[in-house]
Amino acid sequence: MRLFHVSEEPDIRVFVPRLPSRRDLDPAVGLVWAIDEARLPNFLTPRNCPRVTYHVGAQTTAGDRQRFFSSPGATHAVIVESAWLRSIRQTTLFLYEFDPRDFVLQDDVAGYYVAKVAQYPIACTKVTDLLDELVRRKVEIRVVDNLWHMADAVKNSTLNWSLCRMANATPMRP
């Protein structure tokens, strides 16, 4: 298993546990967060870029596969707003890889892992073309004017999904 932290910062030497702001986690226990390689595409955008991401899971129906993917072999999609394309093209990301030994699974659908002790990256990969990286990982990329209809649709599907930075999405028009 490979675990990563994605950042726009090029020179992080140590990841120190941070206290979580999520209400479902103990606010007194600091954590270092990592993402598994299968869900890494969910984070191959600028940090604040709103996006709807989804992938095929064990409960995904054939109907939802057909409805949400344009290619029969696709299993993962990232949808972004057209207003973010320039930023996506101009952003460089750094994929910090961790030794997985100190990490425990926090969320299977999201691919989140956490460690309670400081982590030192074992490798760092610079990604200068985010769209190319997504294509290389066989991810369907969609560009839309507004994410909210897709967010609502995917929430009511059998896909595994994640809605990221939606506070930055273009507001829904009536």
Residue 136 host element (H or E): helix 130-136
- Asked if residue 44 belongs to a domain, the reply is yes
The pLDDT of residue 174 is 60
In percent, the amount of the chain with pLDDT more than 70 equals 99
b/e code 131-140 from CB counts within 10 Å (16+ = b): bebbeeeebb
Angle among Cα 28, 34, 126 to the nearest 5 degrees reads 135
The pLDDT of residue 57 is 96
Q: Show the domain range for 116.
A: 3-168
* Cα 3 from chain centroid (whole Å): 13
| The pLDDT of residue 108 is above 80 | yes
Helix (H, G, I), strand (E, B) or coil at 163: strand
The pLDDT of residue 45 is 98
d(CA 106, CA 108): 7
> How confident is the model over 73-101, as pLDDT tens digits?
899 999 999 999 999 999 999 999 999 99
The pLDDT of residue 72 is 87
- Asked if residue 79 belongs to a domain, the reply is yes
| The pLDDT of residue 145 is above 90 | yes
Residue with the two structure tokens 């028009």: 173
Work out the pLDDT band at 22, boundaries 50, 70, 90: confident
- CB-based contact 98:11 (threshold 8 Å): no
Helix (H, G, I), strand (E, B) or coil at 120: coil
The pLDDT of residue 70 is 94
DSSP string, 31-85: BEEEEEGGGGGGG-S-TT--EEEEE--TT--HHHHHHH-SSTT--EEEEEEGGGH
Work out the pLDDT band at 23, boundaries 50, 70, 90: confident
- Asked if residue 124 belongs to a domain, the reply is yes
The pLDDT of residue 53 is 98
Measuring CA to CA, how many Å separate 68 from each of 79, 127, 151, 160?
Answer: 11, 27, 12, 12
Average pLDDT over residues 144-170: 96
Average pLDDT over residues 134-149: 96
Tell me the average pLDDT of the chain.
96
- Asked if residue 7 belongs to a domain, the reply is yes
Count of domains forming the chain: 1
